[in-house]
Chains A and B, each alone.
Chain A
Amino acid sequence: MAVTLSANYSKKLGLPGFSSHFFSVSVEVELTDLSQVQAECAKLYQLLQQSVDKEIKQVGFVPDEFFGIDAIGQGQDTQQGGPHQQHQNGNGSHRNGCSQGHHKGSDGHSRSSNGNSDSWNCTDGQRGFILRIVNENNIDKQEVEDLSQQLYQLGVKHLNKMQASQLIEELLAKAGKPSGRTRWSQPRNQQQPS
């Protein structure tokens, strides 16, 4: 009677910036009888562990502390490109904040809600406003990212238009500034549209 031995070796490693990555290898071997199990297990364990250890050293893309808002105060349209596609798991993994793949912003630009990590999901106007509030009020970039995660479990760049608007309100309140809606009011107007 043939005996099938299945072996699996997995390893998860923590990475900086609350990220982690994980690699798992499985093999199946056929044995002629049960007396081979112990020796085969030892052999497989060693083999799989060595294989996983060798590969898991390649950490691929690891987000830095500014991931999600790394355009703040820098060139906003720089491309980082693809290495993050190797990123497999953990808190740094990409989430999609919009229920559909593309959202057309009010400026008419079609935005990808996944894929390129440097494109913002909200409108250009909102992106500029967020950057301006952060810069003018010396708000810690990580604080902004944390707030975004707290509210939506999403990075700043992945917020859709409504979520970005909420974040702007929170940032304005933090900076002791009036709500963003005041920009709609007319110069002499006491009433605000509601």
Chain B
Amino acid sequence: MNSLLAAIPPREKIQSIEKPETKPPSEAETIAGLQKIVSSSRLGTFLQCRLKFYYRYVAQIKKAKTAALFLGNAVHETLKAWNKTRWKENRLLSLKELHDEFSRAWEEQSKEEPVNWEGEEEAEKLTGWRLLETYMRQYGLYLAIKPEAVEVPIEADLGNHGLPKLVGVLDLVQQRRVVDYKTSGTTPKEEQSAHTHEVQTCTYAVLYREANGQRELGIELHSLVKLKNPKLSIIELPPMSDSQETRLFHLMEAYVEGLERKDFVPSPGFGCMSCEFFDNCRRWS
């Protein structure tokens, strides 16, 4: 009996068996993980500024969510609910229901991570709602057009090209067109947008093709512009060309090689104005 009791580990030991302590991964392990999976935001950040990429994805320095990001997320969540309803329930949400969805999305986010609004929360919330109202008014959607996917995560294994796995979430797919929602402070210009969003749009095209076995018919950027009089800008881009795909793959190669070299130098420029790591960066040497 005594020997049996002796064989039973004390409670603390049992707990330690049940919940083994997890060691945070080393920097090398984190980098190795980042080399295996890439998304358009990771790639975009790396191309924009490698030090910013380092702070965000390697060192994983947590910064408070900005009001703009918070608002953008709430708008995205509401549009997701709107699209799901017209798809699964074959009806359009009323403005009242839409507003309820927006309020719910706002509250959910507040619970997750509060933002320092500096007294502007109500004004920001109103801005978000006015963007959604504008979208509903200006984007005359027929109920007959059904989504093919809403907020769907897709992976594409590009191992055949010697590249990492590409991942991303498509906001909306309908009529073989990939739609991406954006909230912005200025009205985007078509030619500029085609260039500045190329990494993102090409990523979506690769993901769409991989998952559907066919080319997309086009990519649409639906920007909800936060002006005094909110505005909707829809930019329709053609399907990704072969040369754009090659460019994307070259950029992915540069990403993998840059991570391999631990090339995390700063790229001071206009982008620094909105960089959350500005203070960290000033101390970098």
Contact = CB atoms under 8 A, between A and B. Distances in A.
B152 A106 contact: no
B13 interface: no
B205 to A, nearest CB: 13
Nearest to A164: B211
A166 B148 CA distance: 9
Nearest to B165: A106
B157 A181 contact: no
A111 to B, nearest CB: 9
Interface string B182-224: 0000000000000000000000000010111110000000000
Q: How large is the interface on B (under 10, 10 to 19, 20 to 34, 35 or more residues)?
A: 35 or more
A191 B57 CA distance: 8
Q: How large is the interface on A (under 10, 10 to 19, 20 to 34, 35 or more residues)?
A: 20 to 34
Nearest to B39: A193
A169 B84 CA distance: 12
Given A181-B153, A186-B57, A193-B41, A165 B211 contact: yes
Given A166-B149, A193-B37, A194-B39, A160 B30 contact: no
B169 interface: yes
B60 A189 contact: yes
A181 B173 CA distance: 17
A171 to B, nearest CB: 13
Interface in A110-124: none
Given A99-B212, A181-B153, A194-B41, 8 more contacts: A103-B212, A165-B211, A181-B169, A187-B30, A190-B60, A191-B56, A193-B39, A194-B169
23 contacts: A98-B212, A98-B214, A99-B214, A100-B214, A104-B213, A106-B165, A151-B88, A160-B211, A162-B148, A162-B154, A163-B149, A165-B152, A165-B153, A166-B150, A166-B152, A180-B153, A184-B153, A184-B155, A186-B34, A186-B60, A188-B30, A189-B57, A193-B42
Interface of A: 98-100, 102-104, 106-108, 150-151, 160-163, 165-166, 169, 179-181, 184, 186-191, 193-194
Interface of B: 22, 24-25, 30, 33-34, 37-42, 56-57, 60, 62, 87-88, 148-157, 160, 165, 167-170, 173, 208, 210-214
